Structure 1
Amino acid sequence: MADRTGPLKVAALGDLHVKQDAPASHRDLFGEISREADVLVLAGDLTDLGLPREAEILAEDLRACAIPVVAVLGNHDYESDAQDEVCRILRQAGVRLLDGQSVEIEGVGFVGVKGFVGGFGRFTLGSFGEPAIKALVAESVREAMRLENAMRQVASRRAMVVLHYAPIAETVAGEPPEIFPFLGSSRLAEIIDRFEVSAVVHGHAHRGAYEGRTPGGARVYNVAKHIPKPNGKPYAILEI
């Protein structure tokens, strides 16, 4: 697909936490976003308990969205071990659900993985000690490698990385320092900085900070619904 001449307006939003027992309609929000942006990106925790019914409620609300939707899953979407059914429902509703893949929309490549935990910088957890620690680190490395493989699929000059877990500590600042290792991993930033990336979005850290940069200078935005955005909305608008 050829690049468009102007910037692509992307609305980015994370941590909807759609509930089965107390659903809050997002139809008006999605309708508004359709008028404000060219693409909607959802940065994980689409559901609250990872229940198929929650995914169905979200799919119903997404009928009000008239623009392409790109998404990744978050940790909450795995809670009930029904993530395959959640994915099926959302894909059937037209969501471009990414899990180590990329998709191009109007000249912009969207690359998505959930990401994982592990910590940041010199405090990144290493593969040493008990098998459980080694397994955790192996999963963190595996997610980073899946991101790298997906980045290599991107042919367009502009790219947005969509994550749930944070790639830098800067955008989780405001959360208790004790839980920083569970909010993301620098291994994701290391991969991002090997490529030309226009922007990175993530969620998960509800009390984090809106904006930061990877060590290589890529712009990172925490778009969790609870994070204040410059436009005063639950979603951010980014021009790519």
Structure 2
Amino acid sequence: MDGLDQVRFAAVGDLHCRQDMAGALRPLFAQAAEAADALLLCGDLTDYGQPEEARVLAEELAVVDMPVVAVLGNHDFESGRQEEVRRILIDAGIVVLDGEACEVHGVGIAGTKGFAGGYGRHALGPWGEQVIKGFVNEAIQEALKLETALSKLRTPQRLVLLHYAPIVGTVEGEPVEIYAFLGTSRLEDPLIHYPVTAVFHGHAHRGQPEGRTVNGIPVYNVARPLLQRAYPQQPAFRLLEVPLRPAEP
């Protein structure tokens, strides 16, 4: 990367890799490798959270000769074997973030799965039954993970990887009744305290491709089904060029 003034990131989520998908994702990854300097994966990497699915995905990613950074999604937790899934991907050379931060080609990346709970004044509060308090606490803990990861970054340019959406704008188009299960504005709070260059998430297959936080940070919904529908003539990933230094004011 010596001498380059920008880094190209290809981002996609919701691959939902199954055991019968050997060979199906390689063309997409090969296209990403040609277009970008690094690949970002925004959760739901597997369909049922089975280690066998993770092994297929690891084989598919073998065509990618560049850094790959990922977070897990709710589907990766489905079978209760998320740690095995994570280990298989890490052993394949993929950086899997869970409240951690890393640096790729001089750009800082903070990542965590995130969680649900709703947005703004419609967000679920920690009141009543213990199960509700536990649900809300999960969202709070994921937001704290993101804040901790962001606090560790010292790079001029910073990206955030999530699975759940931090703003309502990128879930619009989904049934209103399920907004609360697609993300939470609690994930937006750390982005106000630690502004970043851009945020990527998935999960909302019928949402909007992009939106902005209250402080103007671009948020990109890179759920693969959404990208396929919104941009049918393009490969199903979002390409973002990040300057190695922020523009002068």
Q: TM-score, normalised by structure 2?
A: 0.93
Shift of 1:232: 2.4
The Cα RMSD (Å) is 1.5
In 1: Cα distance, 2:44 partner to 2:23 partner:
15
In 2: Cα distance, 1:198 partner to 1:99 partner:
20
Q: Label 1:4 to 1:116 Cα distance change in 2 as closer, same or farther (>3 A).
A: farther
For the pair 1:235 / 2:234, whether they are aligned, the reply is no
- Percent identity among equivalent residues? 50
Matches within 5 A, 1:66-81: 66-81=65-80
In 2: Cα distance, 1:22 partner to 1:41 partner:
20
2:216 is paired with a residue whose SS is: coil
Residue identity matched to 1:123:
H
Name the counterpart of 1:160. Answer: 159
In 1: Cα distance, 2:165 partner to 2:117 partner:
10
1:193 is paired with a residue whose SS is: helix
Shift of 1:195: 1.1
Name the counterpart of 1:38. Answer: 37
Shift of 1:22: 5.1
For the pair 1:207 / 2:206, whether they are aligned, the reply is yes
Name the counterpart of 1:114. Answer: 113
For the pair 1:185 / 2:187, whether they are aligned, the reply is no
In 1: Cα distance, 2:2 partner to 2:197 partner:
14
Name the counterpart of 1:217. Answer: 216
Which stretch of the first structure deviates more once superposed, 4-13 or 106-115? 4-13
Shift of 1:26: 1.0
Shift of 1:223: 0.2
In 1: Cα distance, 2:148 partner to 2:3 partner:
25
Does the 8 Å CA contact 1:3/1:108 hold for their aligned counterparts? no
Shift of 1:197: 0.2
Name the counterpart of 1:133. Answer: 132
Does the 8 Å CA contact 2:110/2:158 hold for their aligned counterparts? yes
In 1: Cα distance, 2:60 partner to 2:23 partner:
10
Shift of 1:233: 2.1
Residue identity matched to 1:189:
E
Name the counterpart of 2:144. Answer: 145
Does the 8 Å CA contact 1:31/1:66 hold for their aligned counterparts? no
The Cα offsets for residues 6-42 of structure 1, whole Å up to 9 and x where unpaired, read as 1211000000000124556211211111110001000
In 1: Cα distance, 2:4 partner to 2:144 partner:
32
